C-alpha cells in the first residue's frame, strides 16, 4: 500500500482535470450503515468560493449517490489510474442500488480523516469534501444546445459545493 | 507588447488560483457602447461541465458588472502581475458606475477573439468566457457560518457559468 501524502488542492489539478475529461473520476459517498458507493463523474469544478477551496460536483436527483450525499452532506473525489478504466466504466453504468461496487470491483475504502465518506486506496489523488452549499441547474437559464443535449429526460443536476478539507496523493 | 500565446485551460491553473487567493483576479465586462470595466474577484472555479471547459464567477446583483454581464452574456478573467497590486485593490473598491477604471489606471483593453468583453493586455493569463448558464447562491442551502460571514446584507451572488472559448498567456 503506497503512502498517501497530503498536498495542496491546486498541486495536481491539471492531472485531475485531464483524467476527468478523458476517463472520469470516482465520486464516493456512503450510506447510513457505512457501505460506500462509487459513481463515475466527468463533470466538476475546483476553485475558491467564500474564501474556501471548493470542489463542485453535479449529481442527478435520480442517482443513488444523490440520496447518500443528501444524508451525509459529504463526499470524496478520487482520481483513478489508467489501469482502473474498466472499473470506472462499470461505476458509470451500474447503480449502487443493485451493486456493491467496492466489493465487486475490489475497490479498497480507506477512512477519511474528516468526513464520513471514505477515499479509494487505489486512486492517485483523493479529495475529502464537506457540503457547504447546493443549488440546481436551471432549465430556463441554460444554453439551448446544452439543454437539448444533456437534459432530454429532465433530471436536472443538483450542484453540490464541497469544501475541500484534505487532498492526498500517492504515486502508484 | 508581449505576444499572447494560446494555451489550454488547465495549463496555468495553479498559478491563476494562487493569484486569485492572494491578490485577486480581474473580471472584465463591457457596456453597450464598448466601454470596458474591471472588477476584482477572489472567488471562482474552473473545470468541466456539460463536456465543456467552464469558468464560474460570482457577482452580487448590486454590482455594476452584474448589469453588464446580463446584457452581453460574456466576460473575461485576467490574471494580474504582482506589480498591478494597487490597480487590483482599486478595481475591488471603486465602481464602474463612477469610474472609468481602464482609463484611470492605464489598463489596456485588447479585443477578444470570440466575445464582446475585452482582455487586459498587462495581465499574464486571459480567459475568454461565454455565459451558458447562471444560478444563485441560495440562503436556505448555505452553511450557517458562511451565511453570517458573507451575506450580512443579503445581496446573494449570481453564479455565472462561462464556457472558456480561449485562454492566452504572455510572460511579462
The answer to whether B43 and A47 have CB atoms below 8 angstroms apart is yes
Q: How far is CA B68 from CA A110, B74, B102, B113, in A?
A: 48, 9, 15, 19
DSSP letter at A157 equals: P
Query: What ipTM did this prediction achieve?
Result: 0.97
As given in the structure block, the three cell numbers for residue B64 are 455594476
Q: Which residues of chain A make contact with B46, given a CB cutoff of 8 A?
A: 45-47
A10 touches chain B (CB under 8 A): yes
Which of A14, A50, A56 lies at the smallest CB-CB distance from B13? A14
Q: pLDDT grade, residue B113 (50/70/90)?
A: very high
Which of B18, B49, B141 lies at the smallest CB-CB distance from A133? B141
What are the residues whose beta carbons fall under 8 Å from the beta carbon of B133, sequence distance 6 or more? A137, A138, A141, A142, A143, A146, B49, B160, B161
Q: Rounded to the nearest 5°, which phi and psi values hold at A40?
A: -80, 135
A42 touches chain B (CB under 8 A): yes
B7 touches chain A (CB under 8 A): no
Burial class (CB in 10 A: 0-12, 13-18, 19+), A70: middle
A97 touches chain B (CB under 8 A): no
Give the total number of structural domains in chain A: 1
Task: Give the three-state DSSP class for A56.
Answer: strand
Q: pLDDT grade, residue A171 (50/70/90)?
A: confident
Which of A13, A48, A138 lies at the smallest CB-CB distance from B42? A48
C-alpha A166/C-alpha A140 separation (Å) is 36
C-alpha A55/C-alpha B125 separation (Å) is 22
The answer to whether B18 and A10 have CB atoms below 8 angstroms apart is yes
Q: Rounded to the nearest 5°, which phi and psi values hold at B115?
A: -135, 175
The CATH number of the domain holding residue B127 is 2.30.110.10
What are the residues whose beta carbons fall under 8 Å from the beta carbon of B15, sequence distance 6 or more? B79, B124, B125
Residues β-bridged to residue A125: A79, A169
pLDDT tens string A32-61: 999 999 999 999 999 999 999 999 999 999
Interstrand relation of A44-49 and A109-110 (parallel, antiparallel or unpaired): unpaired
Interstrand relation of A25-30 and A36-41 (parallel, antiparallel or unpaired): antiparallel
DSSP letter at A166 equals: E
B32 touches chain A (CB under 8 A): no
Question: Which residue on chain B is closest to A49 by alpha carbon?
Answer: B43
B51 touches chain A (CB under 8 A): yes
**A137/B133 touch (CB, cutoff 8 Å), yes or no:** yes
Determine the distance from the C-alpha atom of residue B170 to the mean position of all C-alpha atoms in its chain, rounded to a whole number: 18
When scoring A143, A144, A151 by the number of chain B Cβ atoms within 10 A, the one with the most, hence best to mutate, is A143
Q: What is the pLDDT of residue B172?
A: 64
Residue B45 C-alpha, separation from nearest chain A C-alpha, in angstroms: 4
**B43/A42 touch (CB, cutoff 8 Å), yes or no:** no
Q: pLDDT grade, residue B157 (50/70/90)?
A: very high
* pTM beyond 0.95: yes
The answer to whether B43 and B92 have CB atoms below 8 angstroms apart is no
Q: Which domain holds residue B116?
A: 5-169
pLDDT tens string A105-158: 999 999 999 999 999 999 999 999 999 999 999 999 999 999 999 999 999 999
Which of A46, A58, A150 lies at the smallest CB-CB distance from B46? A46
Residue B119 C-alpha, separation from nearest chain A C-alpha, in angstroms: 21
C-alpha A28/C-alpha A23 separation (Å) is 16
pLDDT, average across residues B35-60 = 98
**A133/B150 touch (CB, cutoff 8 Å), yes or no:** no
A13 touches chain B (CB under 8 A): yes
**B47/A20 touch (CB, cutoff 8 Å), yes or no:** yes
The answer to whether A164 and A129 have CB atoms below 8 angstroms apart is yes
Amino acid at each position: 500500500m503506497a503512502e498517501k501524502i497530503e498536498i495542496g488542492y491546486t498541486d495536481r489539478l491539471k492531472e485531475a482535470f485531464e483524467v476527468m475529461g478523458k476517463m472520469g473520476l470516482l465520486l464516493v459517498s456512503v450510506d447510513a450503515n457505512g457501505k460506500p458507493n462509487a459513481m463515475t463523474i466527468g463533470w466538476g469544478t475546483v476553485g475558491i468560493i467564500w474564501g474556501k477551496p471548493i470542489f463542485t460536483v453535479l449529481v442527478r436527483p435520480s442517482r443513488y449517490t444523490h440520496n447518500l450525499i443528501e444524508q451525509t452532506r459529504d463526499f470524496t473525489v478520487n482520481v483513478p489510474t489508467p489501469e482502473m478504466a474498466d472499473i470506472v466504466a462499470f461505476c458509470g453504468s451500474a447503480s449502487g442500488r443493485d451493486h456493491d461496487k467496492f466489493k465487486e470491483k475490489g475497490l479498497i475504502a480507506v477512512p477519511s480523516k474528516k468526513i464520513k465518506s471514505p477515499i479509494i486506496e487505489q486512486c492517485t489523488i483523493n479529495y475529502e469534501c464537506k457540503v457547504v452549499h447546493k443549488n440546481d441547474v436551471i432549465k430556463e437559464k441554460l444554453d439551448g444546445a446544452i439543454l437539448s443535449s444533456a437534459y432530454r429526460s429532465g433530471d436536472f443536476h443538483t450542484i453540490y459545493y464541497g469544501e475541500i478539507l484534505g487532498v492526498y496523493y500517492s504515486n502508484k
